[in-house]
Amino acid sequence: MLIDAQNIHKSFATQDGPLPVLRGVDLQLDKGETLALTGESGSGKSTLLYLIAGLDSVDDGTISVAGRQVHGLDDQGRAELRRETVGIVFQQFNLIPSLTVGDNLTFHARLAGRENEAWTAELAERLGLTDFLRRYPEQLSGGQQQRVAIGRALAGRPKVVLADEPTGNLDEETGEQVAQLLLDLVRDTGAGLLVVTHSLRLANRLNKRVHLANGKLA
């Protein structure tokens, strides 16, 4: 089991008191499996993904990623988990503007000590980025930037890939291309994939789909 989240509760503070977002969520993901997490805006989809990534802390419940108890890790341990085990594709790309495309691609792999020039070159070619490696993110289209973000997430060959609305900021044609590249690359690396998405077209291409509503999965 790559991801095993049990009885996850999460609330956020508001002027009117705590606002429950997740109310006892259970979610599992096996090796090589692809899972779509759908739900209305504000339903807590991204919150759940960030909890799994160790970018936020649960109020109650347990999360295990590749055998490591995320909820029991300190900040350093969570950072190590993201470097060594988890690849994240953010909706807003989150590329480093001062680094070239090539350096953005290899950034996390270098941090993890797993940079592989042959694999990076293959990623760049398959993502259509070979001719853009010396450019900077601001010189790329949105679709190209998302391809860089996917490549960065996969460059270190993570066991788990977490993608938050990976096609949300793209037009339909570009989104289809990016989605296919993501699925192909995840399949070829053997990673598990959890995708938060509003797109039913994308969700239907994954092995399984779960829907988050009223703080619970259905």
Domain count, the chain: 1
The pLDDT value recorded for residue 112 is 87
pLDDT value for 130? 96
User: Mean pLDDT over residues 6-24, rounded?
Assistant: 94
**What tens digit of pLDDT does each residue of 117-164 get?**
999 999 999 999 999 999 999 999 999 999 999 999 999 999 999 999
Question: For the domain that residue 149 is a member of, what is the CATH number?
Answer: 3.40.50.300
Which domain covers residue 160, as residue numbers?
3-217
Calculate ∠ Cα 173-31-48, nearest 5°: 70
The CA-atom distances, in angstroms, between 52 and each of 34, 128, 150 are 15, 30, 18
Share of the chain above pLDDT 70, in %: 100
The yes-or-no verdict on residue 194 having pLDDT over 90 is yes
Q: Which helix (H) or strand (E) holds 64?
A: strand 60-65
Q: Could you tell me how far CA 115 lies from the centroid of its own chain?
A: 19
pLDDT digits (tens, 9 = 90+) for 71-103: 889 999 999 999 999 999 998 889 999 999 999
What is the C-alpha separation between 173 and 180, in angstroms, rounded? 11
Q: Is 19 helix (H, G, I), strand (E, B) or coil?
A: strand
List 209's β-bridge partners, or say none: 36
Percentage helix, strand, coil for the chain under 3-state DSSP, each rounded to 5: 40, 30, 35
Please, what is the average pLDDT of the chain? 93
